[in-house]
Amino acid sequence: MTIYPAIDLMEGRAVRLRQGDPGRRTEVDADPVAAAQRWEAAGAQWLHLVDLDGALAGAPRHLDLAAAICRSVSIPVQLGGGLRTMGDVEAAFGAGAARVILGTSALSGDLLPDAVSRFGDRIAVALDSRDGRAATDGWQATSAAPVLEAAVMLVAMGAPRLIYTDVLRDGMLGGPNLTGFAAVVARVPIPVILSGGIRSITDLRAAAEAGAEGAIIGRALYDGRLALADALCAVTVAG
């Protein structure tokens, strides 16, 4: 199981939000490039990078900073946030992303199948859940679609990989929604990465048992309650 340290960008800084609320943010590093280099030095094999300003605006806002981060490390970076057109996807890859994450845009229109046709499994789709329904528009809105229905629809549209996040767990350090996650894993035939609320080795082991291909960790790493080295060791032993 791959561990992805999270770097969320807002106003040029690395921040953590609680439950996706921009009004409940905490700055965790004034220099996101340094944060990326620190996680690589600590043993990370991938990074999870999200342009929060882009997600809220509906168009990328930090491609230059994302490019600087990608250039500063030798490990692959998956990048999302506000990528809602093919031009945005191309720009994200042009910035150095190894994998591009689609969100709201993947639930309608032709972007997802077109992107998968061009880039294959370098595309992932964010499956964001709030109270069992798909959260959209930078988590600021909730659709009528149940998460499981959205997951099945995304697979039918060609999604190669999903990233499941329970919005209400994100940044709260209360543990991930393993029940919701396991239901998605049982429903779809593609890899699923777990995000939201992971705080301990116990959570990581439970995620692995639930079938997670990877786990995205944010606040627990920045708070120091979970060391990246320990997380990496736990999933290596589990594997």
Confidence class for position 227, pLDDT limits 50, 70, 90: very high
pLDDT of residue 237: 67
Torsion angles phi and psi, residue 110, rounded to 5? -105, 5
Q: What is the mean pLDDT of residues 84-92?
A: 97
Q: What is the mean pLDDT of residues 52-67?
A: 96
Q: What is the mean pLDDT of residues 33-41?
A: 98
pLDDT of residue 73: 98
Q: Which of 10, 129, 121 is nearest to 61 (CA)?
A: 10
pLDDT of residue 236: 84
pLDDT of residue 143: 73
**DSSP-assigned letters across all residues of 130-192:** ETTEEEETTTTEEEEEEHHHHHHHHHHTT-S-EEEEETTTTTS-S---HHHHHHHHHH-SS-E
Q: What is the mean pLDDT of residues 141-147?
A: 78
Domain enclosing residue 211, as ranges: 2-238
From 51, 53, 88, 128, the catalytic residue:
128
Structure tokens at 1: 């199981």
Q: What is the mean pLDDT of residues 31-53?
A: 98
Torsion angles phi and psi, residue 158, rounded to 5? 110, 5
Look up 21 and say whether it is catalytic: no
Query: Is the confidence at residue 239, as pLDDT, over 60?
Result: no
pLDDT of residue 37: 98
Q: What is the mean pLDDT of residues 190-217?
A: 97
Confidence class for position 144, pLDDT limits 50, 70, 90: low
Q: What is the mean pLDDT of residues 11-38?
A: 93
Confidence class for position 107, pLDDT limits 50, 70, 90: confident
Structure tokens at 128: 């964001």
Q: Where are the alpha helices (DSSP H) in the chain?
A: 32-41, 52-57, 63-72, 86-94, 111-119, 147-156, 178-187, 201-209, 219-223, 228-238
CB-based contacts of 227, cutoff 8 Å, min separation 6 = 221
* Residue 211 per-residue DSSP state: T
13, with CB counted inside 10 A (0-12, 13-18, 19+), is middle
CATH number of the domain enclosing 48: 3.20.20.70
Give the chain's mean pLDDT: 93
59, with CB counted inside 10 A (0-12, 13-18, 19+), is middle
pLDDT of residue 78: 98
Q: Which of 172, 122, 182 is nearest to 151 (CA)?
A: 182
In this structure, are strands 123-130 and 13-18 parallel, antiparallel, or unpaired?
Answer: unpaired
pLDDT of residue 238: 56
From 8, 51, 53, 170, the catalytic residue:
8
By three-state DSSP, how is residue 218 classified?
A: coil
pLDDT of residue 136: 79
Look up 128 and say whether it is catalytic: yes
What does pTM read for this prediction? Answer: 0.95
Q: What is the mean pLDDT of residues 111-124?
A: 97
Number of domain units in the chain: 1
In whole angstroms, give the CA distance from residue 38 to residue 49: 14
> By mean pLDDT, which of 90-94, 105-109, 151-155, 228-232 is the weakest?
105-109
Structure tokens at 182: 């396991």
